[in-house]
């Protein structure tokens, strides 16, 4: 069972919901970069559980301990950076029955099929959403590095339970960059429930509470944008920025859909509508609009990289569901106990940003805008 | 510029629109499998251009020459299988102006930025849709192998220009497998315009013709299903079947969105609706419905693997568009000449099937259902 | 800076000589295997410093903490196994001058060139022999797994300072397997100075002491054998068992040479001497002798896999050497302080075994003896 | 069965001895480089068979056809470069018996075990030395690219049948670079039997002829040097320049040993002898000698990269040998027919250079001397 991603920047994630710790190793991090521990902790806090009505009451400090990869001055030294987050609040007894009765739409049963009962079933094991904590840690570090080069990444809740937030102003011309920057500024306060339209947000929270009251859960959709990228990042075909992001994004538990730019909307457009003409802005070639979502042929255009991802409702719900007892091979009712988020979308927002940061930094390092001939040898 | 995909089954694609040939190398193909050349040619013919009103009149025989990888008896021998398809019908003069004036929403400009003019601009070079020919060849071979093990793959046009086909009967219980099989049978005649609802198909073709008459193009959406897979294929996180498929699918030119099972629809569902309960069918554990699209935690459930992908309208259109002259850095009008499909969706259907076959076979070989402990050493 | 190796079994090593901890993540470990902690500790103890006259007095408990990868029953669960070894005994002040004056034949200067001073220079940083501790831990786990399938691995000191030990009886027919087994039994007591000929060993230790007395060091050669492997492991060309082992072995600090079977001796042989004829033993095809060292075309023959590796003298010596001050760019004398092994060969013996175990297990899992056609799909 | 090598520069080799063609795909070749077809053909000619008494009389033109990867101006375009060499002179009937009776010390039997008879046994299939033709083609292209940046690579026969050539003057100070350059100049005439000492060469040829007369073969040793490399290429541990070269070199058929710098000689040295002190030459830090063979910790020092590799005697000999009939499981005598080199060492010299070029260029592109902080993002 591998758990790595990346080419030039490779992140290997380890840990299970109830193992001693979760963590990751980051290979390929450029040297000489300081890490702002306070900002990293603030980023982690956005994902951390236990802070709101829509979040599991399982409390984890999610404190990061960096084991290696820094030089005596505290900057990245080029060697692999390993970090761990201790699992301090595990209540395995909540989960002991999962060995026999798989929770619907969790990986309990597929893991059982694959590992014949040797998998760590406790709390979902390696499939647990807990694994997004080290992903966020790695992504938070990548984000700091990218920000040092003018890149910004922001995500928000676009939809929950059919209620929509306002979208990013990212499909238009580069002349409208300030509108998008204003939206991103609004989100930069690290809000726990990141939406652009506060009224929509209030309605979403009501929908979450309503589902919660019925021991149910709700799904949603997240929109993420990356600005400040130069043109030329990515590679054709399977190492394009879309392919790289897609592999990473579908590695996040509960993601069921992904689209770039106009996304599925292209099915209703003509070429004359969808195509982004070119114009000259400030003496430079720029797409006149950005239906392509910031890349063509897998290579960035310099326009905002924009994607949306669908997040399914939390599978763990308190309502009675139909399942089977794997030992007796009989159908049995199941009521999932334990502590669950009625909606994981809010906590998945920083995860989207983190994974975007990892994929973008990897693509930048692996498939950068090519230097003029031979410069790479100097 | 890499052009490879796969872990246990690795496909490396090469060629440009106007190079001597396009082709691929397949590493990791299991040995001992015969290849039915006639059926492979029939599969290739579904993608080949020049056969219908919605397709470019560029004619290519797309004849496959297998250079290596077969034993004296004509079966796969375990060594890399290399195949080439000669480029016989190239008219580079059509494209000479592209060096200076990039076509909107093609990769002409991003390639120029990345390679400083050293890229092969003719006909889109390595970014050309022509590269889907060797992809289809590789996928067609993978498909034959999978079929030998009871796997079937079928795709159809789900939507063009806002007109929808009937969907696959793949989101329900395994008890409804015969309805899906009937749909797949309907498509198995290799039809050039693969839809389930012929009336919808007729409307789609009218929409394509209407766009064509205006020197315009239309986009669409393709739905693909894989049946007959055992449970247990895939790996958690970034090597899950969804991640593997996603990286591959977004490597197909013009794809802008991808979703599995209920896809973006999950944003409007509650957990109690989206979750797939378990039931016992014929003495075996089965999901009672298949909103998950055939996998949980990246591992197949044995239910149909179902995905939809959005395909943007052909970027090359005859209408005048705004572009820039890269030499003079001035905005100039562009009217793309050459031979183009007013809608590439029909020809992308076998490409979807081919890429699905490659991703599924790779996952099967790389992350198979785990044998009971130690069996792998016997 | 990557630090990973392996295809199906991937080991990522992290840590620096003076970082908080060293450790590794093992991806791809088969599930369901118990780990004998006591035996693993005993294996680690063979590499651990501080126990003999030829070893650095730096004392490290080298206690392994397994953070993840086990199921509630303590067996491997298929998820990545992460382990750490805390660095408890670091004396960075010994090394502070290394920032300016690189030690001859260490990586101090090449690291400085590569990372412009951002590398962790303390104690050699990521280049330190300390990194062989997590390698041994990973290899020790792989070894236990292999032993469960009848594989044995043993290494011994073949040469130190020109004094030779008796060689393994591994180049002959499978009929002579018991002689080799007896030799391996002799070494299985975990001796700190593993030789087959105790007299030769005594002479070697005298040579080490003599060098030590002169603030000097000595090099040597290690021979390693792997028995009990089935025929059919490995893949042609670059993923052959020799290539896989070679990449791994040259990743061990101080290794300067590697040979298989007759090794460099083949340069003096004729084909009629070097070729291993086939014979039937107990009804099975076997090479009648084993000059090939257990593999042909990169694929195991079932005969003992045999290799020898050259280990250079410890670079850190107390004698005055010529170096340069990188700040002043002047030549300066250097006398390396700190705690060093006058000979690292004895402690490198378990490292050779560990790396052999990792390479062999990886090859077994990645390129196993192929199952009969289609069996892999069942 | 994979057949690829490289990280940033990936070469995938395909073909069998008697397949339609052999060839390779090179991914990651920098764009904008012209390829001198005449010089490439001259390089290929050094490996080509049929030109001398020590070479197989099988004649192959070894003409390279480049299918893709060039732009309209004939320079590399960044896309994968695919090339093929047709197999024009195959006489499979010579080999038909190999299906049943494996040749000693060939891969016939291990391939049979691995692929259960589905392998292409004709002429050794994918294990054939014929596969070094595309390796040479790829390496010859890499070599031209490196030469454009001041890098030179030269190899010579160091030993055949116990007769030694003079060694390269590459273990000393950079002050002695001209002596080495003179040696390299001597070899640059593309001589078919590349030695530095012509008398030794004459004796070697006599030894080859003597073996040939007895239907036997002889082994040898090749020394290879790379000059003009900057310091800083390579990465610690498993991606060091030694590990990268080692994996590649052991992928060449018949190689049984590899050493760098002083190689196995280090076992007889003290640290005070083996260590390379630093000195200032022309205002720059340089190792005062080069026993390390041009790298420390896997990273180049700028001194000549020096390695030696052992090549076993041709396994195919006309003398009668003992083998077994796999069908009857009886021991039978075998006399290998067909056309064989009595010594493959001379033809392996350009292969060593080619593989060195590929490994060095890959390391340069993948793990270059690090730019100062952040320069990589500009």
Mean pLDDT of D347-372: 92
Q: Check pLDDT > 60 for residue D374.
A: no
> Are D148 and A374 a contacting pair at CB < 8 A?
yes
Tally C-beta pairs within 8 A across B and C: 36
Note whether A234 and A299 are within 8 A (CB).
yes
Query: pLDDT tier at D5 (50, 70, 90 boundaries)?
Result: very high
Give the residue from chain A lying closest to D79, CA to CA: A236
Q: How far is C230 from chain A (nearest CA, A)?
A: 24
List phi, psi (to 5°) of A160.
-140, 130
Which of A116, A242, A312 is the closest to B274 by Cβ?
A: A312
- Residue C92's pLDDT is 57
User: Which residues on B lie below 8 Å from C32 (Cβ)?
Assistant: 373-374
> Are B78 and D122 a contacting pair at CB < 8 A?
no
Which of C31, C149, C376 is the closest to B30 by Cβ?
A: C376
- Residue D359's pLDDT is 98
User: Which residues on A lie below 8 Å from C145 (Cβ)?
Assistant: none
Cβ contacts of residue C290 below 8 Å, gap of 6+? Answer: C170, C171, C172, C173, C261, C276, C301, C303, C304, C306
Mean pLDDT of A128-134: 94
- Which of A301-310, B94-103, D277-286 has the largest mean confidence? A301-310
pLDDT in tens, D235-244: 999 999 999 9
List beta partners, residue D335.
D320
Mean pLDDT of D307-312: 98
> Are C67 and A20 a contacting pair at CB < 8 A?
yes
Note whether D261 and D171 are within 8 A (CB).
yes
Cβ contacts of residue B238 below 8 Å, gap of 6+? Answer: A2, A3, A4, A5, A247, A248, A251
Domains in chain B: ranges and CATH: 4-377 (3.60.150.10)
Tally C-beta pairs within 8 A across C and D: 374
Residues of A with CB under 8 A from a CB of D: 30-33, 78-79, 148-149, 236, 364-365, 368, 370, 373-374, 376-377
- Residue A11's pLDDT is 98
Going by the DSSP 8-state scheme, the letter that residue B255 receives in this structure is: E
Cβ contacts of residue C265 below 8 Å, gap of 6+? Answer: D310
Cβ contacts of residue B135 below 8 Å, gap of 6+? Answer: B11, B13, B24, B252, B351, B354, B355, B358
User: Which residues on A lie below 8 Å from C4 (Cβ)?
Assistant: 10, 12, 27
- Residue D60's pLDDT is 66
Least reliable range by pLDDT among A204-218, B243-257, D188-202, D218-232: D188-202
Interatomic CA distance for residues A176 and A229, integer angstroms:
16
Percent of all residues in chain C with a pLDDT value above 70, rounded to a whole number: 92
Residues of D with CB under 8 A from a CB of A: 30-33, 78-79, 148-149, 236, 364-365, 368, 370, 373-374, 376-377
Q: Check pLDDT > 70 for residue B310.
A: yes
Q: Check pLDDT > 70 for residue D330.
A: yes
> Are A67 and C19 a contacting pair at CB < 8 A?
yes
> Are B313 and A271 a contacting pair at CB < 8 A?
yes
Q: Which residue has the higher pLDDT, B167 or A337?
A: B167
> Are B4 and D27 a contacting pair at CB < 8 A?
yes
Structure tokens at A65: 């301990």
User: Which residues on A lie below 8 Å from B301 (Cβ)?
Assistant: 109-110
> Are C80 and A14 a contacting pair at CB < 8 A?
yes
Tally C-beta pairs within 8 A across B and D: 185
- Residue D1's pLDDT is 79
Helix (H) or strand (E) holding C248: helix C241-249
Structure tokens at C161: 């300072």
- Residue D181's pLDDT is 97
What is the residue-averaged pLDDT of chain B?
A: 92
pLDDT in tens, D202-230: 999 999 999 999 999 999 999 999 999 99
Q: Check pLDDT > 60 for residue D313.
A: yes
Give the residue from chain A lying closest to C4, CA to CA: A27
> Are D25 and B16 a contacting pair at CB < 8 A?
no
Q: Check pLDDT > 60 for residue D95.
A: no
Which of A21, A32, A79 is the closest to C1 by Cβ?
A: A79
User: Which residues on D lie below 8 Å from C259 (Cβ)?
Assistant: 256-259, 264, 310
Which of A236, A368, A370 is the closest to D31 by Cβ?
A: A370
List phi, psi (to 5°) of A298.
85, 0
User: Which residues on C lie below 8 Å from B368 (Cβ)?
Assistant: 376-377
How many helices and strands (H and E) does chain D possess? 8, 16
User: Which residues on D lie below 8 Å from A370 (Cβ)?
Assistant: 30-31, 78
Chains that touch C (3 or more CB pairs under 8 A): A, B, D
User: Which residues on B lie below 8 Å from A5 (Cβ)?
Assistant: 237-238
Query: pLDDT tier at A59 (50, 70, 90 boundaries)?
Result: low
- Residue C123's pLDDT is 84
ipTM value for the complex: 0.96
> Are B149 and C374 a contacting pair at CB < 8 A?
yes
> Are C249 and D246 a contacting pair at CB < 8 A?
yes
> Are D258 and C256 a contacting pair at CB < 8 A?
no
Give the residue from chain B lying closest to D9, CA to CA: B2
* Residue where the block lists tokens 């579904």: B46
- Residue D190's pLDDT is 75
Which of A13, A248, A264 is the closest to B310 by Cβ?
A: A264
How many other CB atoms are found less than 10 A from the CB of residue B182?
Answer: 11
Least reliable range by pLDDT among A132-141, B27-36, B337-346: B337-346
> Are A373 and B116 a contacting pair at CB < 8 A?
yes
pLDDT in tens, B249-303: 999 999 999 999 999 999 999 999 999 999 999 899 999 999 999 999 999 999 9
Note whether B330 and B312 are within 8 A (CB).
no
pLDDT in tens, B312-322: 999 999 999 99
Query: pLDDT tier at A309 (50, 70, 90 boundaries)?
Result: very high
* Beta strand ranges found along chain B (DSSP E): 4-5, 10-14, 21-27, 65-68, 81-86, 152-160, 163-164, 220-227, 255-260, 278-281, 284-287, 295-296, 299-300, 305-311, 320-325, 330-335
Note whether A148 and A141 are within 8 A (CB).
no
- Nearest residue to D40 via CA among D142, D129, D150: D142
Query: pLDDT tier at A99 (50, 70, 90 boundaries)?
Result: confident
Least reliable range by pLDDT among A242-256, C136-150, C360-374, D107-121: C360-374
> Are A107 and B236 a contacting pair at CB < 8 A?
yes
User: Which residues on A lie below 8 Å from C31 (Cβ)?
Assistant: 1, 115-116, 118-119
Give the residue from chain B lying closest to C77, CA to CA: B373
What is the residue-averaged pLDDT of chain A?
A: 92
The parts of chain C modelled with pLDDT lower than 70 are 50-51, 53-54, 56-60, 89-98, 339, 370-378
Chains that touch A (3 or more CB pairs under 8 A): B, C, D
H-only helix segments in chain A: 37-47, 108-115, 132-147, 177-187, 198-213, 241-249, 271-274, 345-366
> Are B377 and C31 a contacting pair at CB < 8 A?
no
> Are B79 and C377 a contacting pair at CB < 8 A?
no
């Amino acid at each position: 069972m591998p758990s790595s991603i990346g080419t030039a920047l490779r992140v290997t994630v380890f840990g299970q919901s109830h193992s001693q710790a979760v963590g990751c190793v980051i290979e390929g991090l450029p040297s000489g970069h300081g890490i702002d521990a306070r900002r990293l902790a603030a980023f982690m806090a956005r994902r951390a559980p236990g802070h709101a009505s829509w979040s599991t009451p399982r409390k984890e400090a999610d404190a990061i301990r960096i084991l290696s990869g820094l030089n005596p001055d505290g900057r990245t030294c080029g060697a692999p950076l390993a970090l761990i987050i201790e699992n301090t609040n595990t209540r395995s007894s909540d989960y002991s029955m999962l060995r026999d009765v798989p929770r619907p739409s969790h990986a309990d049963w597929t893991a059982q099929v694959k590992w014949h009962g040797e998998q760590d079933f406790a709390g979902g094991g390696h499939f647990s959403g807990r694994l997004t904590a080290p992903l966020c840690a790695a992504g938070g570090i990548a984000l700091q590095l990218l920000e040092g080069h003018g890149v910004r990444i922001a995500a928000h809740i676009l939809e929950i339970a059919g209620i929509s937030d306002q979208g990013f102003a990212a499909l238009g011309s580069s002349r409208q960059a300030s509108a998008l920057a204003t939206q991103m500024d609004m989100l930069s306060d690290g809000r726990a429930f990141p939406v652009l339209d506060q009224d929509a947000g209030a309605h979403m929270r009501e929908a979450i509470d309503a589902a919660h009251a019925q021991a149910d859960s709700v799904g949603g959709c997240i929109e993420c944008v990356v600005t400040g990228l130069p043109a030329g990042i990515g590679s054709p075909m399977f190492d394009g920025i879309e392919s790289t992001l897609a592999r990473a994004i579908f590695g996040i538990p509960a993601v069921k859909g992904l689209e770039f730019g106009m996304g599925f909307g292209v099915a209703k457009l003509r070429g004359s509508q969808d195509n982004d003409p070119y114009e000259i802005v400030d003496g430079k070639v720029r797409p006149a609009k950005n239906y392509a979502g910031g890349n063509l042929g897998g290579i960035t255009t310099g326009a905002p990289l924009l994607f949306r991802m669908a997040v399914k409702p939390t599978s763990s719900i308190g309502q009675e569901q139909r399942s089977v007892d794997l030992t007796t091979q009989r159908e049995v009712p199941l009521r999932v106990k334990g502590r669950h988020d009625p909606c994981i979308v809010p906590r998945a927002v920083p995860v989207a940003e983190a994974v975007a940061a990892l994929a973008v930094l990897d693509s930048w390092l692996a498939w950068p805008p090519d230097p003029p001939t031979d410069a790479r040898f100097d």
